[in-house]
Structure 1
Amino acid sequence: MKFFSDFERKYQKYAIRNLMYYITILYAVGLIVWLLDPMIYYNYLSLNVGMILRGQIWRLVTFLIYPPAFGSWSFTQIFYGLIALFLYYNLGQTLEYVWGSFRFNVFFFMGVLAQIVASFVGYLVFGQYWLLSTGFLNASLFFAFCIINPDAQFYLFFVLPVKAKWMAIAEAAVYLYDFITGGIAVKVELVISMITIILFFLMTRNYRHYAPKEIKRRQEFKQQAKIVVPGKTRHRCAVCGRTELDNPELEFRYCSKCEGNYEYCQDHLYTHKHVTKDSVQ
């Protein structure tokens, strides 16, 4: 949307670069706090609206230290907690690389705001204390990654390769079950979190791609692309040089941030160095 593009141009210089690096440090601090005494988090750092309204405003920030995939003190739980830190760090880094620092900042802090709003709704509307953690915030990172890179592979139990889109569908089914069977706290948090994700993608979508002229141009391009001269290739990665003849399952995309018609395979789409006029010179 134009208003978001204007907003981005005006304020992008204030974006926190490498945001997920700092968030991961917060999670690591939270892991240490939890190992020392879980009650420290609940009594002084959690998102408790009642205590916030009594002046403990630091809870609006400190609830973010709650580490992902962590519940009890055990060596197994610590191991999976560290794996989760590594996973979400990489998901966040990939999103920032694809979107840019500003848009990733907006997405992440919209998720933070959604958690805060859900807690205040619980307290002010339903009169309940909801100690919401960072669970749905991290889930939003996972869903966003799966949306922009549905064919990326995760190794379930470090062995079984599963594409991101299938894991996202399975995760969505779990959340749908939680919504149906869970209490009002789960319902409110899920609805607000999903609205936040949808709102972000609506704000950042380039609607010009869906204009009638653009749709016609894309259809004509696809028809022309079907005409293949014998011995010629249709796609070639600008980094590794592989084509569809090397591996028919390879997927190729053009990078919108590179200046020129540079096409990349799925292995280098998010890892290549962007080509600009200065770099070409």
Structure 2
Amino acid sequence: MDRIIQIFEKYTEDYLPTGITRYLIFGQIAAFVATAAYPAFRTAFILQGDRILNGQWWLLITYLFQPLSESPLFAAFVWYIFYLYGTVLEKRLGTAKYVFYILIAYVANALVALLFPSLTLTNGYLYTSLFLAFAFMFPNFQLLLFFVLPVKIKWLALITAGTIGLTFLASAFPTKVLIVASFSNFLLFFGKDLLDTVRGNTIDTPIMKEKKPTRDPYHVCYVCKTNELDNPDMQIRYCSTCKPTTCYCGEHINGHTHRGL
């Protein structure tokens, strides 16, 4: 897997634009406005194999921009969260690896659509796979849920994973295949680490108690240099107004001078 990623990075890193998350969100906002004005357009963002086989190949593109909610308020919240974790993920993985992660689920979903032509696919699972990747890498990241309630991302990830697991158990075979396909990227990228987590051999994960780390920290406060390894209870915040997006602890996120402005 690492070799395939290296080859992909070698041939694409000079051509891929940065800020992939922003492009996806802008596309979803445009789709939201279009479907709000013309509700009949909603079908143009739903992936179905039989429609692709009948010549509607553009569904393979528009599918990525299907709005994640029809409610303006909830859609704005989802875009905010997606921008937050998507930007950090791209920064941590690198643009090429981030795009490759998305492509795995995207291609897998397209194959499922062709395998089960009558199945209707949305992009919800695909974008959830990005959320789970972020939560697995940064479990102690603290999020203000609905801009009010502070909660660590690992608890939201556990609830999400549990809901997906129940859906998998209760669903028909085509939907089971869809779920596996949608999260194949997560399994390929983090499957080994996930198994180690279950066995109790890794640290800083959503479900296991932490041990002494042997890796470099992911989050380092720009001001005081504290990190999640030295202080597991560190409140991790990122400021997207700073250029580039910058990490701060809970003490220094408020009142800091924005970088790069």
Tell me the TM-score normalised to structure 2 length: 0.72
Task: Work out which of the two has the higher radius of gyration on C-alpha atoms and give 1 or 2.
Answer: 1
Question: What is the Cα-based RMSD across aligned positions, in Å?
Answer: 3.0
Which of 136, 156, 178 is matched with 1:147 structurally? 136
Partner of 2:27: 26
| CA distance in structure 2 between the aligned counterparts of 1:159 and 1:28, rounded to whole angstroms | 24
For 1:25, the aligned partner's letter is F
Equivalent residue in structure 2 for 1:239, among 214, 219, 222:
222
Please list the CA deviations of residues 32-87 of structure 1 after superposition, one character each: whole Å capped at 9, or x if unmatched: 12212333221x442122121122211111122211133xxxxxx21111111121
Q: Distance in 2 between matches of 1:154 and 1:251?
A: 9
Secondary structure (helix, strand or coil) at the match of 1:68 reads coil
What is the match of residue 90 of structure 2? Answer: 96
Distance 1:39 1:100, change over 3 A: same
Counterpart among 122, 132, 141 of residue 121 in structure 2: 132
Conserved? CA contact 1:34–1:40, under 8 Å: yes
Residue number in structure 2 paired with 1:120: 114
Report the residue type matching 1:81 in the other structure: A
Q: Which amino acid aligns with 2:78?
A: A
Cα drift, residue 107 of structure 1: 1.0
* Alignment partners' CA distance in 2, 1:190 and 1:198: 12
> What's 2:161 paired with?
172
State the Cα deviation string for residues 107-165 of structure 1 (Å, max 9, x = none). Answer: 11222212212211212xxxxx1221110011011101101110001223433221111
Q: Which residue of 2 aligns with 1:274?
A: none
Instruction: Give unmatched runs, 5+ long, in structure 2.
Output: 193-211, 214-219, 237-246, 253-261
Maintained 8 Å contact 2:63/2:122: yes
Distance 1:155 1:189 in 2: 31
TM value normalised by structure 1 = 0.67
The change in CA–CA distance for 1:4 and 1:36 in structure 2 (over 3 A counts) is same
Which residue of structure 2 aligns with residue 232 of structure 1? none
In structure 2, the CA distance between the partners of 1:159 and 1:241, relative to structure 1 (3 Å rule), is closer
- Bigger drift between 18-27 and 31-40 goes to 31-40
Partner of 2:209: none
**How much has 1:240 moved relative to structure 2?**
1.9
Match of 2:18 in 1: 17
Q: Larger helix proportion, structure 1 or 2?
A: 1
Q: How many residues align?
A: 214
Aligned pairs (5 A) from 1:1-281: 1-42=2-43, 44-70=44-70, 77-123=71-117, 129-201=118-190, 239-241=222-224, 249-250=233-234
Give the aligned residue type for 1:178. T
Amino acid at match of 2:134: F
State percent identity of aligned pairs.
Answer: 27
